[in-house]
Amino acid sequence: MQTALGLIANPVGTFQAASVLLRGAPSLAGWLAGWAITEFPLRVLTGHALSSVNAAPVNRFTAGLAAQRADSVLQEALTETHGSDYAEKVSHPVTDPTIRRHSVAGVWRAAQRSRYATVTRNLSYGPGGRDHLLDIWRRPDITLGAKAPVLLQVPGGAWALSEKRGQAVPLLSRMVELGWICVTINYSRSPFSAWPAHIIDVKRAIAWLRENVADHGGDPEFIAITGGSAGAHIGSLAALTANDTALQPGFEHVDTSVAAAVPYYGAYDLTDPANMCELMLPFLENFVMRARLADAPDLYRAASPIAHVHRDAPPFFVLHGRNDAVIPHTQAQSFVGALRGAGAATVAHAELPNAHHAFDTIATVRSQMVTDTVADFLGITYGRHRTGLDRVVHHVG
């Protein structure tokens, strides 16, 4: 509905883009069918039913097989990045040994986790009305002085929907359980707003958190960022362009750096049509960038996270589905290669077999495995932060 209204509000190029969307309808239907089949194959549904009876944890060779080998791929990503003892490096404000990991029976529990979070809704972080609203998730027992680590979630939606509710619930719920403050935002939508309004809004949200999140129990010195699809694109760009004054109009002096970035199935290079699905470039040209790639290559390059990689990049964990038909997994491969080639110190990468776009939407077995692994990655990064603070305090003492 929001995209349809946008077509009316922005008639320039509407006919061409609408034609492309219609031509792409079969491929979009194919993606949806593929997503449903791989996220809910018969053996997964059977495992869900059986586990609801005995509440047994997933076995890697039975129900774990239903998660399409995700467990081994995810463990390999963390082992390669942080060593075989990575689990010993994980640190969170809350440790609850009663919470099951990778549990098929936990699908229902994971779906209900958000009910046990306190949510402060629709706080304004800027002058943009609906586009500048955020929600804050936290445990009910988090005190205002807790200085809990903060995770900012940037929603996807083809740069056109950006609805803060309903996305990344499995991850946000898990991080709240572990004592984190989680923040979800709206931001400017295309075609009502053209690029770079989207990235400016995300940086504006980071600036707001830097100044205000302590009032909600968060630590303004530790803000990580995540997001899927368009949210992964914008979040990654924000992580790589900290304190870029051109992207911070009116708040140039604010520190917009982040402690870590975890993008899911994102677009990282907007300059290479060969590395996109057939719908993406026409949509970008007519609705998001409002300029043709051939006419404005510098605009597309500046909007591409891959063009901003550098050795001082924050820790990245890049996740993508191997069967993604919306944004090809080669986008993630190229981005990870560029980060590592630039000398970035911490770059983890997990390419999930048989996974499609938006594989984390529902708390399936695989989604839970991804959530637990991302929680470990963020916990390791936070543990390093806490160790650094302890050293500073000890040195001053």
Domain parsing of the chain, residue ranges: 2-396
Q: What is the pLDDT of residue 322?
A: 95
Q: Report which DSSP code applies to 16.
A: H
* Tens-place pLDDT, residues 53-64: 333 344 444 444
Alpha carbons 242 and 86: distance in angstroms, whole number? 28
Distant-in-sequence, close-in-space partners of 349: CB < 8 Å, separation ≥ 6: 77, 317, 318, 319, 332, 333, 336
How does pLDDT run along the chain (397 residues), one tens digit per residue? Answer: 333 333 333 333 334 444 444 444 444 455 455 544 555 444 444 333 333 333 334 444 444 454 558 899 999 999 999 999 999 999 999 987 655 565 544 544 555 555 568 899 999 999 999 999 999 999 999 888 899 999 999 999 999 988 898 899 999 999 999 999 999 999 999 999 999 999 999 999 999 999 999 999 999 999 999 999 999 999 999 999 999 999 999 999 999 999 999 999 999 999 999 999 999 999 999 999 999 999 999 999 999 999 999 999 999 999 999 999 999 999 999 999 999 999 999 999 999 999 999 999 887 888 999 999 999 999 999 999 998 855 544 444 4
Apex 236 CA angle, 232 and 242, nearest 5:
145
Active site residues: 229, 324, 357
Structure tokens at 314: 């924050």
Q: What is the pLDDT of residue 95?
A: 83
User: Which residue intervals of 148-255 are DSSP H helices?
Assistant: 169-177, 197-212, 230-240
Backbone phi and psi for residue 181, each to the nearest 5 degrees, phi listed first: -90, 125
Amino acid (1-letter code) at residue 255: D
Is the separation of the CB atoms in 235 and 226 below 8 Å?
yes
Q: What is the pLDDT of residue 50?
A: 31
The CATH architecture annotation of domain 2-396 reads: 3-Layer(aba) Sandwich (3.40)
The residue with tokens 């979009």 is 28
Q: What is the pLDDT of residue 42?
A: 40
For helices 197-212 and 230-240, give the axis angle rounded to 10 degrees: 60
Indicate the Cα dihedral angle 267, 269, 275, 278, nearest 10°.
60
Q: Is the dihedral of CA 385, 387, 391, 394 positive or negative?
A: positive
Alpha carbons 39 and 216: distance in angstroms, whole number? 36
Distant-in-sequence, close-in-space partners of 318: CB < 8 Å, separation ≥ 6: 263, 266, 332, 335, 336, 339, 347, 348, 349, 350
Q: What is the pLDDT of residue 105?
A: 47
Quick one: which of 363, 270, 370, 279 has its CA closest to 320? 370
